[in-house]
Structure 1
Amino acid sequence: MGRRSDHSRAELEALILAEGHRLMADVGFARFSAREVAKRIGYAVGTLYNVFGSYDMLLAAINTRTFELWAAHLEDRLAAPSAERIAALVEGYFSFAADNMNLWTAIYDHRLPLDMAMPEALVTRRAALTEVVVREVAAILPPETKDRAPRLARSLVATVHGHCTFALNGSFALLGETAPLEMAIARVRESLIAAGATIAD
């Protein structure tokens, strides 16, 4: 029997999300199962869909939680004493991905159907990650080009993501590259300096 009366809707949403996130971390996107989440929390699988609306929205919520943890991870790296902030951002990107491979890859493995829009609340929560990068980029650009920070930040995230993906999937090793993190930091610094940024040595 399911424990249908044990939790309020808000409590149930938090319970499903916590267990779903834990399962995703354990088994990854390909082996993730809403039925297994339901089994672990003692509810019928239909309860999950009643709370989140669909399987896709459950996955979107789980991945949004990962975005938030990732943003917090970057902030932790930036808070380290004497951190060179741009290098700390890039290292934080790499280290979060390496330490949370299943969660990180699930973000890119899951796609909402074309006729399904991401809820605005999830869009806003996910944006916190990019906002960390935009803030740090804007802080080192000259006043007359600070309005370029959002677009530049998105480009830099794409650059770092490519380097990180190649590092973690073994592509750089096949190419003989032994220091992908350092290479990513160098490419980011070059792009920022070209944009007029002031970066401490």
Structure 2
Amino acid sequence: MEQDPRAARREALVDAAERRIAEVGLSGLRARDLARDLGCALGALYSLVRDMDELVLRVGSRTLARLDAHLSAAGGETPAGSPQEATKRLAAIALAYGAFARDNLNLWRTLFEYRLAPDAEVPEWSAQEQLRLFRHVLGPLAGVAPNASQAELEMMSRTLFSAVHGVYVIGLDDKLVAVPRDALDSQVEGLVRLVCAGLAAPG
């Protein structure tokens, strides 16, 4: 079946936006440049997407899908197993997350740096795509802390993600207080193992 022409043009627009973000970062994304890339009038862009918010979210959707596949390949959807195996898997998922961030730096940063217009809300489809990634952490966490409730596991997953994400954000930005890049992975793995040891400890 042939793709709808408007849908095909929208995909071409998302392609162009994705390329520009990957090459020069979010700050280099300009509607006029995209119109030139597509060989169309500036107004034609807004017949394909509502606004730049929607366009960036569509690029983010692609990035999240690739991140999801990357984490799945690292074992993020395998049953939990023993606490030791679950800890090993959580460390592998954290390292896979860091590798994806390094290899897709500008697109990964855009997921967290972009701010919607003040009166805009994140569409439900975008919010669900983001929340869906937590299943990669929830499964292994259940193996590390088998007595935790679902609500506790969900909170732990967000806390652990925030910790790992924060180390990589600061490290990959080369901030003064950052862990050196060549030590990032070993320090993140150590952090995950320490957290898991604490969660598995009795009492």
Question: TM-score higher than 0.5 here?
Answer: yes
Cα distance, 1:153 vs structure 2:
0.7
- CA deviations 1:33-86 (Å, max 9, x no partner) are 22222222233232222222111221122122212211111112228xx99311
TM-score, normalised with respect to structure 2: 0.81
Match of 1:18 among 8, 15, 26: 15
Cα distance, 1:146 vs structure 2:
4.3
State the partner residue of 1:55: 52
Partners of 1:174 and 1:122 in 2: CA distance: 30
Deviates more, 1:45-54 or 1:87-96: 45-54
Cα distance, 1:111 vs structure 2:
0.3
Match of 1:125 among 116, 125, 129: 129
Alignment of 1:24-103 (within 5 A): 24-78=21-75, 84-103=88-107
State the partner residue of 1:162: 166
Cα distance, 1:167 vs structure 2:
1.8
- CA deviations 1:7-56 (Å, max 9, x no partner) are 52222222211221122111111111222222222332322222221112
Structure 2 alignment gaps of length 5 or more:
77-84
Partners of 2:162 and 2:71 in 1: CA distance: 16
State, as a whole percentage, how many aligned pairs show the same letter: 27
> 1:24/1:78 Cα in 2 relative to 1: closer, same or farther (>3 Å)?
same
Partners of 1:29 and 1:111 in 2: CA distance: 11
Amino acid at match of 1:164: Y
- CA deviations 1:112-148 (Å, max 9, x no partner) are 1221001111111222322322233234331443442
> 1:176/1:38 Cα in 2 relative to 1: closer, same or farther (>3 Å)?
closer
State the partner residue of 2:196: 192
Cα distance, 1:176 vs structure 2:
6.5
> 1:164/1:54 Cα in 2 relative to 1: closer, same or farther (>3 Å)?
same
> 1:175/1:73 Cα in 2 relative to 1: closer, same or farther (>3 Å)?
closer
> 1:175/1:117 Cα in 2 relative to 1: closer, same or farther (>3 Å)?
closer
State the partner residue of 1:3: none
Structure 1 alignment gaps of length 5 or more:
1-5
Partners of 2:178 and 2:142 in 1: CA distance: 36
1:179 to 2:176 alignment: no
Contact 1:63 1:103 in 2 (8 A): yes
> 1:18/1:146 Cα in 2 relative to 1: closer, same or farther (>3 Å)?
same
TM-score, normalised with respect to structure 1: 0.82
Contact 2:23 2:106 in 1 (8 A): yes
Partners of 1:175 and 1:125 in 2: CA distance: 30
CA RMSD of aligned residues (A): 2.8
